[in-house]
Every structure is written in C-alpha cells, then in structure tokens.
Structure 1
C-alpha cells in the first residue's frame, strides 16, 4: 500500500493491488519527517481492465493515474484499489508521494480510540474497521460483548467503543438521532444498561412503554441481571403530583399542558389559587365560583333572604355571596375552561400520588422509568424534573456557601421523542426546565440524553448544548442538514446517513475530538415490542382456531343438522355468541385450512377430525 497522486496536509490517496479498502479503516503513513501521521479512510474506489478509463473527476484523476503508472501499476491489467485517507491531525507540510502505508498496532492509536476503561465507562459497541488491529488489543479490552451481524451473532472482533461518561462534566449532554428502524431505540437501551451497570441515578421518560429490562436477549450468553437496578412507575398508579406543594406558577404550567391558556384563564388561576391548596380545595373553589356566577347576584341575594331554607342551604348561599363579592369580575367562560383542564388532569390520576418513589430510586442509584401517555408525560416531566433539579441545585449551592444541605445525588435525564418535550418554535411544559439544565446543568451534576427521530424539530438552544451526538440512519434532507450543522460530519459521511445499516451509528463527540463509526453492541435485554406484528396476527389466528377446535372436539363427527342442538354448548366452550350461519362458515374455513375434513353422505354433511 502506497500514497499516490497529489497530497495535501490533511488528505492523501492510497493505492493497493491486493487490499480492498474499507470505510473508516485506520492507517499509519510511514513518513518519518512528519512523525508517521495517522488517518482513516473516508472514501473508497476499485476498478479493473473491464471498466472503461477516462476518469478525470472525482476520486481518480489524471494525477493519480500517472503516479500509479510511475510506481509500477499496470493500469490496463491490474485490479487497483484506491482510498482517500483523511489525517487525524493536519500535517505541517504535504506528505511524501510513494510513502508506504500500513495498519497500526493498537498501542500506536490507543489514545485516539479508547478514553476510558470498561469498568468506568459505557461500553456502547465496536469501532468499525478495527478488526485489523484486534491481535494487538490488550486482553482486558477483548470479549466484552456480542455484535449482531445480519442474522448471525458474533463475539467482539475489533476495538470496543467506550464512552467516557466522566468527561460529561466538561462536555455535557448526549443527543441520539435516527429515523424509524435505524436502531435508535436499541442504542438507547444499550446506554441505559450501561448507566445501570455504573449505578448512575437516571430518570427515564418512556412514552412507548418499552423500557423494561426483564426479558433477556437471545444469543448473548451469560448476561448481568438488571432486576435490582431499575424500577418502573406509571403516572396515576405509582407516582403523581402533590398539588399542595405547587406554586401558582406551577399550577399555570400544569393546566396549560392540558390545554393552552388565555390571558383571562391565567388571571383566574392567579386570583383563585391559594398557597398550600389541595386539589380538592382548589377544584371546589373553582366550581363554587362558577356556580355563583351562573346563579347571579340577584338570585343569590333572594335565596339568602328567603326564610324557608335549611341551615346548610343558608350557609351554602352565603358562601356563594362571598365568592361573588370576591371573584364576581372574573369571566365565567375562563373559569369553566380552568375547571375542565383541572378535571382532565385529575381523571388521568395526576394528583392522586406523589414523587416519593422516584426520589427513593434516584437516591438508591437506580434507573427510574416513568411511563404514561405522551401528553401526560409532558405535564408530569415539567414538575418532576423541576423538583429533582431544584433539590440537587439547593444542595450544591448550600455546599458552596459552606452550609449544611440535604444530599441529593447527581442524575441523568433520558427521554425518547424529545422534540415533544422541548419543541422548536413554541412552548411546552418541560421546555424551560430542560433548557435551563442544558445550559447550566453540568455545574450541578444534572445531564441530558435526548433521543428523537426529528432533530430539526428539537429546540435549537438545547441541540447546540448536546456535546456528544449519536447519529443513526437518517433520511430526511432537513434533518441531515441540521445534523451536519451541529456535528463535524463530513460531506461523505452525510451522504452515507440514509444508507446506514440498522445499529450502525456515527458518534460525533467533543470527548473523542472526532467523528467515529460504531456498531452498537447486542443489548443484554430485549424490548417487549420485539414480536413482529404480522407474526402476532398469525399467532392470534392460530390460537383462535385452536379454541374453536377445542370447543367442537366433544361433538365430532358433527352433522350440519345437529349444530342447532349443540349451539349453546359449543358457543360456551369457544366463548363466542355466534349463530348457525356463522358457525357453518367457520367450519368451512377450518376445512379449507385442513384442520377439519368435510364428508357428504346421503343423509347429512359431516365435519370430522382431519
């Protein structure tokens, strides 16, 4: 392998007769004057005598062809393999044409590839095209995980990609971008497993009900159990909002998530809400004000002065009169709007619990998965993130002022569909607190891992603060453009984004100092949604057939004319409520599938076991 063609301080062309170059392959260029610079393949090309010559553009130009001939290549007969190699560090002068090129030993490029140990970092996957140096990789970096290649599962062959999570203190926050089916959710699952391994407190918002780590993946051998490392809670069932702890501003935020608020509605909340209000006292006050306004001052005065009422009614109408005096200027429509929004959140179970279970999990170093509908997660996340971040910030501020504060651990916030929580162009309940953490969180030990299919729709302030970005297959041009603006992906890498295999990812990280191509390792656990929906349909159809066959089994052989006699018993056994005609169609269908056989006699049509 030799350098050919015109060279620059940052790019060279390498040629070989025997070696077929691979993308992201790493080479050492034996130019001693420049201290043997290193680089990786960013573009490859191969041609032979069957391909017409006349290349004057692109990778192979006349200068490259001329150099190939000068160093002994037979352009007309040889198979020639070429690669464009980009140097990791810009050279002080152009490299020597004709210099030999070789694969490095691991020790020569270890600082470029590995920034942490397997025990202290997140083992995310395998750096692509590093199997050439596998023999020189130290034993403590070998055999750490399995990789899924096409249909086969294999043991790690190259250098492991270990994300140095401790460096997030300097380069905080991670973005995970990729379209549907790109492996984005799978990559996120691997990251969560690694966070659990490191016992880092993590809060996960799971709108798809898939972040469960109980089921073990196939083909990975003996894997660690995460049973005691995570807890799953659902909004309304296990966790919720302690309404009495909310400020008036918090109430505004929560109710705006149930439906946008007008200025008039905000004025209603500010007027009616009182400090330390429970949900019941607040909702009762809103309902009473609405009823008082509907009755009107004249009717209430008349009822108060009516002597025929019970003591309870007198007290009730007296309360209406006081509320009318106090809140009579508020518009009824706005009060009704607040009442509807509060009822919607209450019926979703938001105000029936507190966040104690989440706080206990974070204190215990667990990964806490919060599940719920997307709109409900948006509401709840604004409250719970604000509460936890406030506790962590209060502890750090007290420590800086040399005061005694209650310890609250640093933690990581993870969410899928992040563009729903912090959208670009308009406000959402959790957007302000996520922006604050994106900008200031590293000082207090709060970090973000945000995954989304649409990085273009994510708030730009937050996107700019994501110092590490995991970019999976992305097809939309606007998203690719956003990714290229926010990372150091080259034009060649940008062109490859729509064609990446599921599970392949470009990692653009300030921690590594460059973009790396990585194959995500096989997760130890599996999502509950891994069953193909068409297999599920087939499975349910077969189960339905089995249920029907089991119900008619005692009556076989079954004459068509006898269906009426046994209809009640058959329906009971099959848990159906079908009529005679429906059962006849079902028996015919089972005969077509070969699960029953049909026999016609002079006296009747019989259905029997096949």
Structure 2
C-alpha cells in the first residue's frame, strides 16, 4: 500500500493492488520525514480498465493515476484499490508521495479506541472494521458481547466500543437520533441495560410502554443471559405514582395546569391569589367552586337574598362563606379565569394525577434502580414537569448545601431518559417540561444530573438543548432537514452524512466531544426483549388461526352439518365457543373452514352440507 497523488497535511490517497479498503478503518502512513501518521479511510473505490477514464469522479483524478503508473502499477491491466484517508491529527507538512502504508496493531490505537475500562464504562457495541486488530487486543476486552446481524447472533469480532461514563462530568448529555426502523430504540435499550449494570439511578419517560426489561432475549446462550428484574421498576402515572397536592408550590401547580391545557396570564394570577401553602386538593377545589358559584349570582344583593332564603344553618353558612370569597376576590379574579382553573384542576384530578405521590420513585433512585414512568405522551408531559423539577432541585439543594457547608438530605446523581424527546422539549414554542429540561441541559452537569434524549426528528428538538448534547448516537436518517441539523450539531463529515440514509439497522455514528472525532460502530445484541417485538401481521395471523382452530374443535364432533340442522345446534355451539352468532355468521365461519381444507362443503338438493 502506497501514498499516491497530490497530498495535503490533512488528506492523502492510498493505492494498492492486493488489498481492498473498508470505510472507517485505520491505517498508518510511514512518512520518511515526519514518522508514522495515523489516518482513517473516509472513501474507498476500486479502479480497473473496464471503467472509462472520463468518469473518474473526485477521487480517481489524473494525479492519482500518474502516481500509480510511476510506482509500477499497470492501470490498464490491474485492478487497483484506492482509498481517501483523512489524518487524525494534521501533519506539519504534506505527506510524502510514495510513502508506505500499513495496518496498525491494537496497542497503537488503544488510546484512541478505548476510553474507559469495562468495569467503569458502558459496553455498547463494536467499532466497525477493527477486526484486523483484534489479535493483539487485551484479554479483558474479548468476548464481552454478541452482535445480532442478518437475523443471526454473532460473536464479538473487533474492538468493543465502551462509552466513558465519567467523561460526562465534563461533556454531559447524550442525543440518540434515528428514523423509524433504524435501531434507535434498540440502541437506547442497550444503553439502559448498561446503566442498570452499573447501578446508575435513572428515570425513563416511556410513552410507548416498551421499556420493560423483565424478558431475556431468546437468542442469547444460557450463560450470557442476565436477570434485570430486580434492577428496574415500571410505574404508571395515575395508578402507581402521582403528585401529592400538599407538596405543591403555586408555581408547581401552574406548571401542572398549564401542561393540562395552556393557561392565560389572568388564570396564573388567579392561582397566585387563591392558592394557599399546604392547601389540600379539596380545600383549593372548594375555594374555586364556591367563588365561581358566588360570581354566577353576580351581585351582593343576590348573595344576601340567598343567605336569607337558606332553609338550614349549613346552607346559610355555606352562602356566607361564598359571600366572603366574593367580597375578597371578585375584583382581582375574573369569573372566566376562575372557571378555567377549576375546569383544569378537575381534569387533572380525574386523570389520577393527584392520586398518589413520588415517594416510590425517590426510593428507587436512592437504591440505584432504573425507574420507568409510563403513561400517554400528554400525561407524561404533565407529570414530568412536576417530577423533574422536584428531583432536580433535591439534587441541587444537596450539592449547594455541600458547597455552603450546611446540611441537607443526600440525593444521588441521576439520568433522565426519554424517547420522542421533541414532544417534551419542542423547538419553536414553549411547553412546561421544556423549561426544566432546558435548565438541566445548561446547568445539570454541575449537579450530576444528565440527559439522554432520543428522537426521530432532531430538527424538531429545541436548539438550545440540542447544542448541549455532547455525545450523539446517529442511526439511519433519511430526511434532508434532519441530516442538515446533524451536520450542524456534530463533527460528522460530508462523506459520513451521505451514508446516513443507507446505514443498516443497528449501525451508528457516534459523535463524541470526548474522543473529538466520529466513530462508526454497531450496537451489541440487547439482553432483554421489548414487549413490542412481535410482528403485527404475525399477531394477526396467529389470532385468526387460534380463533379458527377453536371454532373447528367445537364443530368437529357435530359434523356432518346440513343447512337445516344449523338452527338446532347453534345454541350448543355458542355455549361451547363462548360467543353469540347468527346463522349467517355461522355459515361464514364454516365456509372459511372449507376454504382452508378443514371441512368439505357439498351442495345437495336440500342445501349445503359440511362434512
């Protein structure tokens, strides 16, 4: 392998007659004057006489061909392999044309490839095209994982990609980008498995109900299976967790009401005036209700008449209370705003938001568990606004107390993870959860609170937050606007951007501020399976087959059946089958059995017969 063509301090071309090149593999250029320089293949092509010389493109130019001729290559006869190589570090001078090139050994790339030990990092996959360096690899880096590729489980081949967890203190937050079917959710699952392995406290907002880690993958060998059941907990908003109303501040309550349905400035003012510290749901609800009822009466005179007309002392006292509220708040709290807050409050109540507290989440984080918060996207937007504010400030208060040498209850550092992140921090308009996520993205590093945000549409994610994601996992992406956003927010090169629409599911570019360059990797096989792995068409076929088989077992011992017999046996069939049906529906099901060759349908002078 030789350097050919015109060279620069950053890029060179390499030619070979014997060895084809692979994109993203590493090579060492042995420059006579500057010593050994390491580079990465960014483009690779094959050149031979069957390709017309007038379509050389931007890689195989005249200077490259002349160099190949000069060093003895017969370009009219030989197949020649040509690579464009970008140096990892800029050289002092342009590279010497004709310099020899070789494949590096593991110890020469170890510092570039391995950023953390297996015990302290997250083992996420294998760095692509590094299998030729595997032979000299340290023993503890071998046989760490399996890959699932082409519907087959394959052993590790190549250098493992180990994410340096400790570097997040300097380079915080992770973005996971990729279109549908790109392996994004699969990759996120692997990251979460590794966080559980390290017992890192983590909160996941799961709008798809798919982050369950109780089922091991069937394809893994028995000795490689791992039980995560004690390391995570799934909690549903409105059932297992909620908001304890007595713990709310006025701002917390406004955030919740705004997430339920946007509130106006006037409504915000109503909450500030009417909400009292340590209010229960019932006391605040009653205050709103009684004030709105008094405002519906409209005047002091009508309220006085209501008090006089009351038939019981209880009713009289209730109307007196309404009049007091009317006197105190009518001028500062418009009726429409009071009703708007009342309606939103009741909506949250009936959705179960106030039915519980977040104590179980706090306990799980203190034990180093992964807590999965499940619910609809809108419900999670409402609940996460309160939850993340609460937990982030618990951690912040603890760290601030340390700095001030005062005391505060310990609260651990933790991760916040969400799929469909653009729903929680949208670009272009405000949402309650966006403000706390933006605050954490800008200041969380100091307090040990980190984000992992996954989305199919990075263009729709808030730009301030996107800019703070120091590590980005980029799976297959097709939309031009999303690719442009990725190019702007990462160090991904033009050649890699062109490859993004064609990446295999599970292949990923990792753009990391820690490494200072983009790594091409493949995510390892996950150790747990998603509840949604069954193909929906398989699900449909299985359901129909099971239903048909059950019906066949019910009617099999009643064959043969004439049209004239259907009415007499229909009641018995309905009882055994567990479903009511008309004669027409019964005949349709029998016809389906005939189509599938389970029964035979015969026409007779007295109607159809099934036998």
Which TM bucket (shorter chain)?
Answer: over 0.9
Distance 1:292 1:555 in 2: 72
Give yes or no for contact 1:55–1:62 (8 Å, CA) kept in 2. no
User: For residue 323 of structure 1, what is the aligned residue in structure 2?
Assistant: 325
How big is the shift at 1:55? 4.4
Query: Is residue 11–residue 84 contact of structure 2 (8 Å, CA) maintained in 1?
Result: yes
Contact 2:19 2:81 in 1 (8 A): yes
1:93-132 correspondence runs (5 A): 93-132=93-132
1:550 Cα deviation (Å)?
2.6
The 1-side partners of 2:600 and 2:466 are apart by 64
Partner of 2:244: 242
Is residue 2:73 matched to residue 1:73? yes
Q: Which runs of 5+ in 1 are unaligned?
A: none
Task: Determine which of 239, 249, 263 is the counterpart of 1:261.
Answer: 263
In the TM superposition, what is the alpha-carbon distance from 1:373 to its structure 2 partner?
0.6
Per the alignment, residue 139 of structure 1 pairs with: 139
Report the Cα offset of residue 604 of structure 1: 5.4
Q: Tell me what 2:566 maps to.
A: 563
Q: Secondary structure at 2:78's aligned position in 1?
A: coil
Partner of 1:288: 290
Which residue does 2:172 correspond to in 1? 172
Q: Distance in 2 between matches of 1:254 and 1:80?
A: 66
2:495 is equivalent to residue 476 of structure 1: no
What whole-Å deviation, never above 9, does each CA across 1:240-292 have from its counterpart, x for those lacking one? Answer: 01111111111111101111111221122222211111111111211111111
Alignment of 1:522-601 (within 5 A): 522-601=525-604
RMSD of aligned Cα (Å): 1.3
The answer to whether the Cα contact below 8 Å between 1:42 and 1:84 also exists between their aligned partners in 2 is yes
Contact 2:242 2:358 (8 Å CA) reproduced: yes
Q: Which range moves more in the overlay, 538-547 or 184-193?
A: 538-547
2: CA distance, partners of 1:290 / 1:99: 86
Which residue in the other structure is 1:272 paired with? Answer: 274
Going from structure 1 to structure 2, the CA distance change for 1:444 and 1:265 (only over 3 Å counts) comes to same
Q: Identify if the C-alpha distance between structure 1 residues 550 and 295 changes in structure 2 by more than 3 Å, giving closer, same or farther.
A: farther
Residue of structure 1 in register with 2:496 after alignment: 493
Q: Does 1:445 align with 2:448?
A: yes
What is the CA-CA distance between 1:148 and the residue it aligns to?
A: 1.6
**C-alpha separation in 2, matches of 1:131 and 1:204:** 35
- Cα deviations across residues 36-86 of structure 1 (Å, max 9, x unaligned)? 001111001112222112345400100000001111111111111111011
What is aligned with 1:606?
609
Aligned mates of 2:244, 2:263 — CA distance in 1: 22
* SS of equivalent to 2:74: coil
Moved more, 575-584 or 6-15: 575-584
**How far, CA to CA, are the matches of 1:420 and 1:194 in structure 2?**
26
- Indicate whether 1:342 and 2:350 are aligned: no
Q: Which residue of 1 aligns with 2:49?
A: 49
- For the 8 Å contact 2:491–2:518, the answer to whether it is kept is yes
Equivalent position to 1:432, from 432, 435, 446: 435
Cα distance, 1:601 vs. partner?
Answer: 4.6
Give the match for residue 414 of structure 2: 411
Match of 2:27 in 1: 27
**Any stretches of 5+ residues in structure 2 without a counterpart?**
none
Q: Is 1:197 equivalent to 2:197 in the alignment?
A: yes
Q: Secondary structure at the match of 1:133?
A: helix
Given that 2:199 and 2:368 are in contact with CA atoms closer than 8 Å, whether structure 1 keeps it comes out as yes
Between the aligned partners of 1:144 and 1:378, the Cα distance in structure 2 is 38
User: What is the correspondence of 1:178-189 to structure 2 with a 5 Å cutoff?
Assistant: 178-189=178-189
In the alignment, is the contact (CA less than 8 A) between 2:509 and 2:519 conserved in 1?
yes
Q: Using structure 2 for the length normalisation, give the TM-score.
A: 0.97
Give a deviation string over 1:225-244, Cα, whole Å, max 9, x none: 11111111110111001111
Count of equivalent residues: 607
Cα distance between partner residues in 2 of 1:120 and 1:424: 35
| 1:423–1:431 CA contact under 8 A, matched in 2 | yes
Alignment check: 8 A CA contact 1:24 1:129 kept: yes
Q: Deviations over 1:159-210 (max 9, x none)?
A: 0000000110111111111111111110000000000001111111101000
Q: How far apart are residue 547 of structure 1 and its match?
A: 2.3
**Is residue 358–residue 368 contact of structure 1 (8 Å, CA) maintained in 2?**
yes
Q: Is the 8 A contact 2:217 2:529 kept in 1?
A: yes
Please say which of residues 129-138 and 546-555 is displaced more in the overlay. 546-555
2:391 to 378, 388, 396: 388
Match 2:370 to one of 367, 370, 379: 367
Conservation of the 8 A alpha-carbon contact between 2:216 and 2:226: no
TM-score (norm 1): 0.97
The 10-residue stretch of structure 1 (271-280 or 5-14) with the greater mean CA deviation from structure 2:
271-280
Contact preservation (8 Å) 2:220, 2:527: yes
SS in structure 2 at match of 1:238: coil
Measured in 1, the distance between the counterparts of 2:422 and 2:151 equals 33
Deviations 1:521-550 (A, max 9, x none): 000001100111111111111111122223
Once the two structures are TM-superposed, the CA of residue 333 in structure 1 deviates from its matched residue by 2.1
SS at match of 1:518: strand
